[in-house]
Amino acid sequence: MSTFKAPKGTYDLLPPDSATYLAVRDAIAAPLRNSGYGYVETPGFENVELFARGVGESTDIVTKEMYAFETKGGDRLALRPEGTASVLRAALEGSLHKAGNLPVKLWYSGSYYRYERPQKGRYRHFSQVGAEAIGAEDPALDAELIILADQAYRSLGLKEFRILLNSLGDKECRPVYRAALQDFLRGLDLDEDTRRRIDINPLRVLDDKRAEVQKQLVGAPMLRDYLCDACKEYHEQVRAILTAAGVAYEDDPKLVRGLDYYTRTTFEFVHDGLGSQSAVGGGGRYDGLSEMIGGPALPSVGWALGVDRTVLALEAEGITLDLPAATSVFAVPLGEEARRVLFAKVTELRRAGIAADFSYGGKGLKGAMKNANRSGARYTVVAGERDLAEGVVQLKDMESGEQEALAVDEVVTVLKGRLAE
Ligand code: HAM
């Protein structure tokens, strides 16, 4: 071990486990790529104001968890704590919304940073795959995103997740509800911190996990009862489309998200095997965000799924993904001449698209075969001086253990055929 360790709240992805992370990212992205979402990549840091305005000055993410810093040039930047504000910023900056075909549908995959108290499932550096559909108000679009996330989780074999669904209303009905909730909360016996929250973000108080708070919240006004007709109708349509698609969800009138930009549809994917950090993904509609960051009115909806927690969910359900071995053919040369011949064969195999690896470091047969085994290769090609003198190599099928001599010239053709079977 070196003197250094990964910073607190972070961890490294190393083989062989890292292969699962890649596969999870692919599995989440696949339904998106298949549904008209184009790939977007934005910088790992942004102007800090983007998140302050977008995610919200009253959120924990902005007030407590942001890695904000000033550069030597005097710019105020922050490592991105989430993807939505950045992706919308990029879409506006690139004028994607002006190309005339709304919604602009984008997907992304990357690292995010939040200075949180680390625990299992909660890290300071984590990974999300996300999707944003920008510039359309259509309940079918909200439903599409939920259906695609459901499809992604199911394609990984996950079963023990639930979809929680709520509507947070819009700029017409939410302020009325907010005032009613504030009135109610002010009558309760709450600590000073929570009282302050009543002023800045009263909906978050509903999310308080403490029993003594939850007890007092019985009888609190519910947003559901304050939704305006347009929001109610919109929400009913989202629900109906999900039901028609056979996607089961639970209405959760108390679902509040940790970011301020949401309007109307909000949802969370929770996994029952994960303990306190049970949200594997979340999202919703954010019709006002574009204007909040200086853009035109662009009603939008999206989600982000946590890759780290999705991997934990797989573990919790005892699922091991059926990943193809990274290497199909492993070459074991015995002697200098064999090194030259087999290295050329490996290069040729790779150029033919076959995953091949080579025993480096001049190992003896025993050590090299150990490497071959560990590589997961289906075939090993062994050659020594005597083989080469006869113009052959020994081809070993690592599954059956059978071995046969093969003409050097035929190695690539034969392996191509066998591996295609
Ligand atoms: P979020 O709910 O803050 O939403 O994060 C989405 C997911 O990222 C969470 O459900 C969780 O799986 C994962 N996640 C968040 N924080 C951590 C952490 N500290 N450690 C490990 N995993 C974490 C958003 O970020 C929104 N941008 C989603 C969205 C997109 N809404 C609309 N469009």
Q: Is 303 in the pocket of ligand 1 (CB under 6 A)?
A: yes
| 262 is annotated as contributing to ligand binding | yes
* pLDDT at residue 353, rounded to an integer: 95
3-state SS assignment for residue 178: helix
Residues of the chain with CATH 3.30.930.10: 17-173+227-316
| Ligand 1 atom nearest to CA at 286 | 32
Residues of the chain with CATH 3.40.50.800: 329-420
Ligand 1: which residue has its CA nearest to atom 15?
A: 306
Cα Rg of the chain (Å, integer):
27
Q: Is 141 in the pocket of ligand 1 (CB under 6 A)?
A: no
* pLDDT at residue 195, rounded to an integer: 92
**8-39 per-position pLDDT tens digit:** 999 999 999 999 999 999 999 999 999 999 99
Q: Is 126 in the pocket of ligand 1 (CB under 6 A)?
A: yes
**Average model confidence (pLDDT) for the chain?**
96
Q: Is 116 in the pocket of ligand 1 (CB under 6 A)?
A: yes
* pLDDT at residue 206, rounded to an integer: 87
Tell how far the Cα of 276 is from the centroid of ligand 1, in angstroms: 15
With a cut of 90, say whether residue 100 has pLDDT above it: no
With a cut of 80, say whether residue 1 has pLDDT above it: no
Q: Is 132 in the pocket of ligand 1 (CB under 6 A)?
A: yes
C-alpha 149/C-alpha 28 separation (Å) is 7
Q: Is 304 in the pocket of ligand 1 (CB under 6 A)?
A: yes
Which CATH entry fits the domain spanning 329-420: 3.40.1350.10, 3.30.200.20, 3.40.50.10860, 3.40.50.800? 3.40.50.800
DSSP 205-270: HTT---HHHHHHTTT---GGGG--HHHHHHHHHHHHHHHHTT---EE-TT---SSTT-EEEEEEEE
C-alpha to C-alpha distances, 212 to 186, 188, 208, nearest whole angstrom: 15, 11, 10
- pTM metric for this prediction: 0.94
**270-327 per-position pLDDT tens digit:** 999 999 899 999 999 999 999 999 999 999 999 999 999 999 999 999 999 999 888 9
**360-406 per-position pLDDT tens digit:** 998 899 999 999 999 999 999 999 999 999 999 999 999 999 999 99
Contact 135, 295 (CB under 8 A): no
Ligand 1: which residue has its CA nearest to atom 18?
A: 122
Top mutation candidate among 89, 166, 309, 312 for ligand 1, by most atoms within 8 Å of CB: 309
Q: Is 127 in the pocket of ligand 1 (CB under 6 A)?
A: no
Q: Is 84 in the pocket of ligand 1 (CB under 6 A)?
A: yes
3-state SS assignment for residue 70: strand
| 197 is annotated as contributing to ligand binding | no
| Ligand 1 atom nearest to CA at 127 | 22
C-alpha 332/C-alpha 194 separation (Å) is 67
Look at 386 and 421; give whichever has higher pLDDT. Answer: 386
Which CATH entry fits the domain spanning 17-173+227-316: 3.30.930.10, 3.30.70.1150, 3.40.50.150, 3.90.640.10? 3.30.930.10
| Ligand 1 atom nearest to CA at 128 | 8
**67-84 per-position pLDDT tens digit:** 999 999 999 999 999 999
Ligand 1: which residue has its CA nearest to atom 30?
A: 303
